[in-house]
Every structure is written in C-alpha cells, then in structure tokens.
Amino acid sequence: MAGDPNAAARSAAVQKTLSVVNLGSQAATAYKRADLANRLGTTTKRLSDPSFHVFVVGEFKQGKSSLVNALLNAPVCPVDDDIATSAPTAVRYGDEASAAVLLKPPEDDDPATNIDERSEPIREQIPIEQVAQYVTEAANPSNERRVQAVEVSIPRKLLADGLVIVDTPGVGGLGSAHSAATIGALPMADAVLFVSDASQEFTAPELEFLQTARRMCPNVICVLTKVDFYPSWRKIRDLNADHLSSKKIDVPLMCVSSALRIHALRSNDRDLNQESGFPQLVGYLQNEIAANAEKLTIKAAVSDVLSVTTLLTSQFKNEKQALSNPENAQEVVGNLTELQERLNRLRGGASKWQQGLSDGIIDLQTDLEHDLRSRLRTVTKQADEAIDASDPADTWDDFQAWLYRRVAEDIVHTYTFLHGRSDELSGRVAEHFGEDSGDLAVQLELINPTDIVASIDANTDIQAQRMGMGAQGLSAMRGSYGGMLMFGMLGNMAGLALANPATIVIGLFMGRKALRDEKERQLAMRRNQAKQAHRKYTDEVGFVVGKDSRDTLRRIQRQLRDFFATRAEELHKSTADALGAAQKAVKSDQATRQQRLRDVNAELERIAVLRKKALELSPELAKAAAS
C-alpha cells in the first residue's frame, strides 16, 4: 500500500479493513477458491473509494457556492452577483487540481431507451479555471452544452477521507425544475447542508423543502450564512430555530460567515476563523457525518469477510469430522452427499428460490404501478381543487413550484418504495437457502431518480393574464349598448325616447352583468388551461417514470438472480470440496489421516484468526456473532 496513490484518501480504519480483506483474498486464493477471491476483490474496490456525498442546497443567491469555496479554501465554484449555478459541481480529493465535465449523450434523449441501454456520460477534461463556463446559467443558458455535472479534484485535507461536496443548481430557486432534480438526488446524499442567509427568516418554501429533505436524507444541517453582513442575524437565527421547532424538524442550525473564513485563512488568524463558525461545521462533517458513513462501509466489508470465513470453516470442519472419527466417516460422506444434492437443486433454473424471485418481481411490478398511479391521481385531485379555489392568473407561479416539488417527492417515494420492497424480496429469497445461507445480504444499487426528474419534458407554462382596463371597458360597453338598444326599442314602440333614464339604468346593469360574465368565462378558461397543463405534466411523469421503474425492476431482478446464483455456486463448491476431502479420508490410512488432521486444524486456526481480526473492526457485528 505504500505505493498506492489513493492511500492518502483513506482513513486509518479503512486501511486496516483493507489489510484484513487482503488477507481474506490471500486465504481464498491459497485454498483455490477463485470464486471467494473474486468476491473479496469487489469488496476491495468498494473500500478503495469510500466516498460520502454532502449536498449543498438552498434558494438562489443564498451563498451556497461561497460556502463551498470557504469550506475548502479554494475558488472551485464561481461566485458573482449575476451568476446562478445551473449544473451540480462535485468537489473531491485529488493529488493535483483538475476538472472534468460530464455531458449527456444525445441518444439518451429518446424516452424509449431502456435504463440498461443508456450510455455512460461523455467525460471531458477541462481546465479548472473554465468550470464557470459549464456550470452557470449565463455561460450555458438552458444547458445548451448538455452538462450533467462537473467534477473538480483538489488536494485538501478535509476531502482526504472520501468527503465529496456537491454544489447544487440554484437557478429558479426551490420551486424550479432544478429543485425537483435536487430532491430526486437527496436519497443518494449522505448529508445535506441547507443554506439560507441571515437577511430574513425561513420562508414557507424553504421550510417545506427542509421537511422533504429530512424525510429523504438521514443527515440534514441548516447553515445560516452572511452573518457578518446582517447585524440582526441573531434574531433571524432564533426565529429560524422557532420555525424548525414548530415544524418538528430536528436538525442542527449553524451560523457562518464565508467572508470571515476566507480572510482568516489568508491572514492565518485562528480567532477570526473561530468567529467565522466554520470550525464547528467542519468538525460536525468529520465527526458525525464522515465517521458514520465510514462505519457503514467498514461493516459491509467485514460482513463479506465473515461470510467467506464461514464457508471456508464449514469446508474444513466437515473434513475434520471425517478425519477425527473414521468409524463415522461414511455417515459424514452421506450427509455431505445429501447436502450437495440439495445445493444442486439450488443451482438449477427451476429451483424454489428462482420461482420465488420471479413471482416476487411480478407482484412488485403490479404494486409499483398501483403506487405510482395512486400518487399521481392524488396529485391531480389536489391540483384540480387548488385551481378551482383560486385564479391561475394570481397563483400559477406558486402552483408550478408546488407541482414540481410534489411530483418530485412522489417520484422519489416511488423509487424508495421499489428499493424497500426489493430488500424484502431479497430476504424472502434468502430463506430458501436455509441454514446454508449464512448472511446473504444483497447490496442493491441505490436507484437515483435525478435524471428521470430532470428528463421530464412537459411545458406547464400558460397564458393566464387578467383582462386589462381597456378590455373590461369594451366588454361593459358592448353589454350596455346591447341592453340600451334592446330596451330602448321597446320603449320607442311605447312612445318613449330611445335614450331615457330607464334604458340608461338598464344599460348600466346589462353592462355590469356582461363584464361579470366575461370575467367568469375567462376565469373558467384560465382554470381549464391550468388543468390541462398540470395533467399534461403528470401524464408525462407517469409515462416516463412508469417505463423507467419497470426497467429498473428488471435490473434489480438480474442483480438478485446473479447474486443468489453466485452464492449457490459458492456453497456448492465448499460442499464439493468437503465431500471430496471426506471421501479421501475414508480411504486413507491412520498415519495419513493424522497428518492431514494436523494440517486441517492449522488451517482452521488461521481462518479463526482472520475472523477475529475482521470482528475487531466492527463491534456491532462482533456483538451479533457473540450472541
């Protein structure tokens, strides 16, 4: 590991775990178990990139990019009064400063493209000073360059243990389609920094977004920025704390000044750095967020090593039993033969676990489609009620913001439902392996609906202007003229003048009624137009998400099938090796058996040492193993 360029990006705990996994790989190779060695090779790759992502989110111009720059003491994100971030910027550790842009392939625009057929983003290296040309609305209007994200690597100690900071788009604020895409990405985040400046207390959209973020991500931190610029920031802090308490949003609230932080770092002023509030934020990220993410990564790796040691131990214990008791060796051989036959059935295409997986996927697909349709029907009903109770000319901007957020939440809930039910199905399939299953925990790839949210192309803009004063006057005049003409003609037949006080009063009344009717007609038209617009959007959501969820479900089915098929092969290999050793023990003489018994005991001791080292890395698994 001394020559490993990524060693600096790993903590001591991760490096220790890697050494234990490497020991497990060496043991698997020595015992000629290439299948187990390949399994631990995947574990090594997972440990080699112990990244955990912190998303920086918030309304437009709240100081998100400045916060990232101050946090890292590097101008990685463009900051200016007229600059709005339009694409996410992910900042991670690198030995040298560099940047790359990820571009969406043109063929992925086709909604008929299956999830497995989608191309990888086109990756292009760019000079780090050109990042602003790809991530800002001014330089890349309406994302003409098809930018998915920009990745920046810099040598910073804060990032060395795998922390990745993601500056999210701010164009359009929390009610925009960019916000919907951000909501879609929240389940992928290990933590969220919600940024709001000290100019005012939390707004209703901010509190609503915070509630959504808290449901989607286990770690949310509120950061109050620009405290050096607003003298009343303490009052704003207290008001925000009251809002969080009243909404039952249990998240920490920290106050920082990016300007003070940058000045303190340049002048090496520790007191000023403390005053900036950033040391507390950095400490929270390192001690609370990063530490917990690392524990989960290590726990998964330890679980893999323990599973491998269980298979190896079982193999040698069966051989030891045959060697220790020659008189019972035939019985051991018979039991292993019976076990091998049962494992052969697990390997077959018509095995019960295969049938259970197939039936479970069919049931899940039906439930998933029903869940999505139910959610969209609820959105449609609530949208109709909101439109009927208001005038789109007054409320459409707020309604659009609500619609984007609400639909994005429902999309995320649908994929969360899919992932949770897939985990349940995995547990039911594992039951078919019985006592031989060990700890068959499938680590499914977490579905990221961000691209799906962003790819929904349905324009919800409408022409919802009220009548101007001129139009209202003309409408009233037409009604008045018609009324006066009609009743004036009747009066003329009775010998009265065409224009008299009665016809004038009637004309004014008819003009008022005509104006009211025209306003009601136009209001009804605006409402119908609004309903058509939101239905068009939800229909497109149902079409796109419905297809993508089916594609994702098929991918999960293949993941589960391949995982359990591989585990069945591993169990079969262990049993076959143990059976072969037991059969050989039956035919061996006393001296050969004694020599082999000593070798087997030595191997079991080595495996026990490996297992002990693995358990020392995870107190939680050690406690479970002891019980």
pLDDT digits (tens, 9 = 90+) for 389-412: 988 888 888 888 788 878 877 887
Q: What integer pLDDT is reported at residue 5 of this predicted model?
A: 40
- Cα–Cα distance measured from residue 621 to residue 192, given in angstroms and rounded to the nearest whole number: 28
pLDDT above 90 for 21: yes
- Residue 496 pLDDT grade (very low, low, confident, very high; cuts 50, 70, 90): very low
The sign of the dihedral angle between the CA atoms of 617, 620, 625, 627 is positive
Q: Structure pTM? A: 0.69
Report the range of poorest mean pLDDT among 74-78, 290-294, 490-494: 490-494
- Please give the DSSP secondary-structure letter assigned to residue 338: H
pLDDT above 60 for 307: yes
Q: Any idea of the CA torsion for 584, 589, 592, 597, to the nearest 10 degrees?
A: 70
The sign of the dihedral angle between the CA atoms of 470, 476, 478, 481 is negative
Supply the DSSP string of 374-427, one letter for each residue: HHHHHHHHHHHHHHHTS-HHHHHHHHHHHHHHHHHHHHHHHHHHHHHHHHHHHH
The alpha-helical segments, DSSP class H, found in 31-63 are: 34-48
The sign of the dihedral angle between the CA atoms of 580, 583, 584, 590 is positive
Q: What integer pLDDT is reported at residue 6 of this predicted model?
A: 42
- Cα–Cα distance measured from residue 344 to residue 335, given in angstroms and rounded to the nearest whole number: 14
pLDDT above 90 for 153: yes
CA distances from 564 to 36, 108, 348, 569, 606 (A): 14, 31, 12, 9, 28
Considering only CA atoms, which of 344, 320, 313 is closest in space to residue 582? 320
Specify the CATH class of 51-95+130-144+152-276 in words. Answer: alpha beta
- Residue 9 pLDDT grade (very low, low, confident, very high; cuts 50, 70, 90): very low
pLDDT above 80 for 165: yes
Report the range of poorest mean pLDDT among 72-86, 183-197, 224-238, 485-499: 485-499
- Cα–Cα distance measured from residue 408 to residue 454, given in angstroms and rounded to the nearest whole number: 10
What is the mean predicted confidence (pLDDT) over 189-203? 90
Q: Which amino acid is at 474?
A: L
Residues spanned by CATH 3.40.50.300 within the chain?
51-95+130-144+152-276
- Cα–Cα distance measured from residue 335 to residue 321, given in angstroms and rounded to the nearest whole number: 12
pLDDT above 80 for 19: yes
User: Which class for 168: exposed (0-12), middle (13-18), buried (19 or more C-beta within 10 A)?
Assistant: buried
- Cα–Cα distance measured from residue 51 to residue 162, given in angstroms and rounded to the nearest whole number: 4
Read off the pLDDT of residues 586-623 as tens digits, 9 standing for 90 and up.
Answer: 777 778 878 888 888 898 999 999 999 999 988 887 78
